[in-house]
Structure 1
Amino acid sequence: MIRCKRVYDPLAPDDGQRVLVDRLWPRNKRKAQLQALWLPEVAPSTALRQAFHGGEVDFAGFAERYRQELAARPEHWWKLLGMAEQGEVTLLYAGKDTEHNNAQVLAAWLEDELERRGPSASPVCYL
């Protein structure tokens, strides 16, 4: 199962593997507090992130362009897919909007990939 959670929310026993999926490190958070792996390369490009936050692109356009970026660089999210095959994964993000953020798009992308692979796909380690 893949969950999304703000970095400012408390740790939970059912978080599983915690992964920060933002390109920038969150303010006022120390690495020890976060207890997460950081994969900045899986985040949207700087240009796309700035266009979304600047209002140049709505969420639907952001999600579509981010999915295009993910499709173009599978080597950045394979590790996450492997983690999700093994157990619980919580994607962490710093944004205030809990419904319209890169972690939600990434989670849906990973779920689609897991479904596409099917239950018969043999587990692969992407470390």
Structure 2
Amino acid sequence: MVNLSFFERIASMVRAHWIKAATLAGMAFVLAVGVPADAAKASFIECGPASNGLGVAAASARPRALACPAALAVAEAYLRESGRGADKRSTFKIAGAVWRCEVRDRSTHPFIECAMRGKSRERVRMYS
């Protein structure tokens, strides 16, 4: 018979240390990369820069290998639309999905946020 309390204690200790390490690593990432604080709270992942140099982050139910290429495609589509004189809001379609983007004017960290229609967990942020 397996002593579950032993394994539960070990799992609890591991979780406690990982939570502390992950929290510190997350804070260091935010400070180093400059992702807006509310983006970090929403579990956004850094995907790299768009063609104009803006940082791109994604919040998605999909794995990073799928979320980041999609986020970068959304960013590029937004940049094309904004180059055509689009207002602070822009709606467009990519691979059958409708995305709506808005400029979020924050006093310290303005950014552009895009959300997929019908899937609120699929979001993209662009920031400087």
Q: TM-score, normalised by structure 2?
A: 0.31
Larger radius of gyration: 2
Bigger strand share: 2
Bigger helix share: 1
